Amino acid sequence: MILRLREAFDVTTVRRMSATRRGSDNVGNLPRQYGSWENGRGGCLMSKKRITLIAVALAAFMLQLAAHAQGAPLCEPAFTVAAHASRDCVVIVPAKMQGAKIEGHFRATGGPHNSIEVWVLDDDGYVNWKNHHNHVSALYNSHRVTQGSINVALAHPGKYHVVFNNDFSVLTPKAVEAQFVLEHKHALVETSN
C-alpha cells in the first residue's frame, strides 16, 4: 500500500510534468509553495516526505484496527504452563466498545488428569488472585477441568485477564490449546449538534 502511494505521488514525475507544461527543461528551478512543489494550477502538491509520513500513519492506524478487530485472537493458540505456575492473556476493552465478551474453547493435556484452571478476571480481581487472597471475584472460573468453553460478558471498559492456572500441579507442566476471541458490537460514534 505504501509503495502504491509513493508511485502515485512521485514528486520527480510531477516536477517533470509541471516543467513540461511550462515549456522548461530545468526541473530544479520550479517555484516552491508552502514547502512543496506547485502543480502549475495554483494548487500545492505534497512532498515525498509528507506522503511517506501519511502512508506510515495510515499503515499504523490499519494495524491498530486489525489488533482490535472483531474476532481477533486473544492468546497464542498453543502454549505450555509450567508446574506451580500460571499464564495470562491480557484483554483491553476500550471505553467506546459496546457488548464486549470473550468467547472460545480451551483444552489441556499433561499429568494424570489433564487438568487446568481457567479464570477470567478484571484487573482488580487479577491482582487479588495473584496475591493469593481467598475471596476473589471472578467473571469465570472453570475449576480443574480438561477442556471447556467460555462465553463471558465484559460489562465495563478496562483491563481483563484470561488466566490459565497450573499452580496446583506439583511436577507436571500442561500443554494448553486455546482459541479465544473478543467479540463486540460496533463502537459508539459521537456526533455533535
Instruction: Identify whether residues 82 and 48 lie together within a single domain.
Output: no
Instruction: Output phi, psi for 38, to 5 deg.
Output: -80, 145
Give residue 157's pLDDT band: very low, low, confident or very high (50, 70, 90).
Answer: very high
pLDDT digits (tens, 9 = 90+) for 88-113: 999 999 988 888 999 999 999 998 89
Say yes or no to pLDDT of 8 above 50. Answer: no
**Cβ neighbours of residue 132 under 8 Å, at least 6 residues apart?**
none
Q: What is the pLDDT of residue 24?
A: 47
Gyration radius from the chain CA atoms: 27
Identify the DSSP state of 62: H
Answer yes or no: is 190 within a domain. Answer: no
Return the percentage of the chain with pLDDT > 70, whole number: 65
Are 53 and 111 contained in the same domain? Answer: no
163, 94 Cβ separation under 8 angstroms:
no
Res. 53 pLDDT band, cuts 50 70 90: confident
Specify if 31 maps to a domain: yes
193 inside domain: no
Residue keyed to cell 457488548: 99
Higher per-residue confidence, 43 vs 104: 104
User: End of a domain among 67, 92, 120?
Assistant: 67
Say if residue 84 is in the same domain as residue 50.
no
The answer to whether residue 73 is domain-embedded is no
Q: Is the pLDDT of residue 153 over 70?
A: yes
- Considering the domain architecture, whether residues 44 and 114 belong to the same structural domain is answered as no
Residue 123 lies in a domain: yes
Exposure of 49 in the CB half-sphere (CA atoms within 13 A): 3
Q: Are residues 107 and 84 in the same domain?
A: yes
Query: What is the rounded average pLDDT for all residues in the chain?
Result: 77
Q: Which residue segment(s) compose the domain that 176 sits in?
A: 78-185
Joined grid coordinates for residue 110: 499433561
CA gap 126, 100 in Å, rounded = 19
Q: Are residues 141 and 83 in the same domain?
A: yes
- Of 48, 67, 86, the residue that ends a domain is 67
Residue 24 in domain: yes
What grid cell was written down for 38?
506547485
112-143 pLDDT, tens digit per residue, is 899 999 999 999 999 999 999 988 999 999 99
Q: Is pLDDT of 25 > 50?
A: no
**pLDDT value at 1 more than 50:** no
* CATH code of the domain covering residue 125: 2.60.120.680
- Give alpha helix (H) positions in 68-180: 123-130
Q: Which residue has the cell 506439583?
A: 170
Residues 85 and 60 occupy one common structural domain: no
Share of the chain above pLDDT 90, in %: 47
Q: Under a CB-based contact definition with an 8 Å cutoff, are residues 160 and 102 in contact?
A: yes
pLDDT at 192 (0 to 100): 47
pLDDT of res. 117: 96
Which of these, 102, 104, 96, 142, lies nearest to 122 by C-alpha position? 102
Asked whether residue 103 falls in the same domain as residue 8, the answer is: no
Domain match, 98 and 164 both:
yes
Q: What per-residue confidence (pLDDT) applies to 56?
A: 73
Q: Does one domain contain both 94 and 54?
A: no
pLDDT confidence of residue 46 = 61
The number of folded domains in the chain is 2
Q: In terms of domains, do 49 and 128 share one?
A: no
- The number of CA neighbours under 13 Å toward the Cβ of 153 is 5
Q: Of 43, 67, 91, which residue constitutes the final position of a domain?
A: 67
